[in-house]
Amino acid sequence: MNLKKVFFNNSFKNTSYILKSDLTNESILIDVPEDPSPIIDNISGLDIKLILLTHHHLDHTGGINTLRKHTNAPIAIGKDDSGSEPDDRIAYINPDIEIKNGDTFNFGEEKISSISVPGHTKGSNCFLINKSLFTGDVIFPGRAGRTDSEEQFDLSVNSLKNTLYLLDEDIEFYPGHGKGGETLKDFQNQFKYFLSNSYKKGMHGVVWWVDGYKEEW
């Protein structure tokens, strides 16, 4: 698989991903922020088979109508984030595919699998291919994705315990904002420390697993 990171020069510092088969031009896109021109500039000649959305927030989906017209590719999003009531943070998405945990999608000789991790949103999904994990806003280096309530954060923690915490530690993860650059070993060590030393009732918002990170993304 050939991986292209697409960085957006916006206030959210979004990062989208273009995954291309090594043997063909078949490709998959992950997340489409508003004004998707940086993606469009990088997909000339590619056969876009599918657009995967990690969740329904506008900073990950706001350009989907433009990109759908440009590529005519089907759109997939988690079942619990499909058809959501729109507001200033949430997009209404009418997908071609409602993703369930463990669904797999093929492009060329490659296969990418979904891992449902509710918390940041109820329908949040990560996508795993080989040793690369695309996490959207589920996790970032040093912290969890933002949550709006204690219940939402507790759901995120419990989901992580049963999913990403159990995966191979040498998997590199690629979040939906910033440059990433860490492996699941980093996350698992930080998360284990957090559960033993810092986790307490009432936590939510931006929660760091450990001290020492200077940037939110």
11 in a structural domain: yes
Please indicate, yes or no, if residue 110 is contained in any of the structural domains.
yes
What domain range is 35 assigned to? 2-139+170-183
Band of pLDDT at residue 216, cut at 50, 70 and 90: low
CA distance 137 to 216: 12
Look at residue 214 in the predicted model and tell me its pLDDT.
74
Q: Dump pLDDT digits (tens) for 17-43.
A: 999 999 999 999 999 999 999 999 999
3-state helix, strand, coil in the chain (%, to 5): 25, 30, 45
Can you give the pLDDT at residue 165? 98
- 181 vs 188: CA distance, rounded Å: 14
CA 67 to chain centre: 18
Q: Judge whether residue 116 has pLDDT over 80.
A: yes
Dist CA 15 CA 205 (whole Å): 21
- Which pLDDT tens digit goes with each residue over 123-137? 999 999 999 999 999
In a domain, 15, yes or no: yes
* Residue 145 counted as domain residue: no
- Please say if the pLDDT value at position 215 is more than 90: no
* CATH code, domain with 116: 3.60.15.10
Q: Higher pLDDT residue, 214 or 181? A: 181
Mean pLDDT of 189-193: 98
pLDDT (0 to 100) of residue 170 = 98
In a domain, 133, yes or no: yes
CA–CA separation, 93 and 111 (whole Å): 24
| Distance in angstroms (rounded) separating the CA atoms of residues 19 and 137 | 19
Looking at residue 119, the DSSP 8-state letter turns out to be S
User: In the structure encoding, which two tokens stand for residue 90, read together?
Assistant: 């949430």
pLDDT above 90 covers a percentage of the chain that reads: 96
The span from the CA of 72 to the CA of 90, in Å, is: 23
Distances in whole angstroms, Cα of residue 1 to Cα of each of 58, 132, 163, 178: 28, 10, 24, 21
* Residue % of the chain over a pLDDT of 70: 99
Question: Is residue 204 one of the residues assigned to a domain?
Answer: no
39 in any annotated domain:
yes
For the entire predicted model, the pTM comes to 0.97
62: pLDDT strictly greater than 70: yes
Q: What is the pLDDT of residue 82?
A: 98
Q: Assess contact for 31 and 60: CB atoms under 8 A.
A: yes
- What band does 213 get if pLDDT is binned at 50, 70 and 90? confident
- The answer on pLDDT for 67 being more than 90 is yes
Tokens coding 170: 């040498």
Amino acid found at 7: F
* pLDDT surpassing 70 at residue 217: no
47-52 and 75-78 beta bridge pairing: parallel
Q: Domain total for the chain?
A: 1
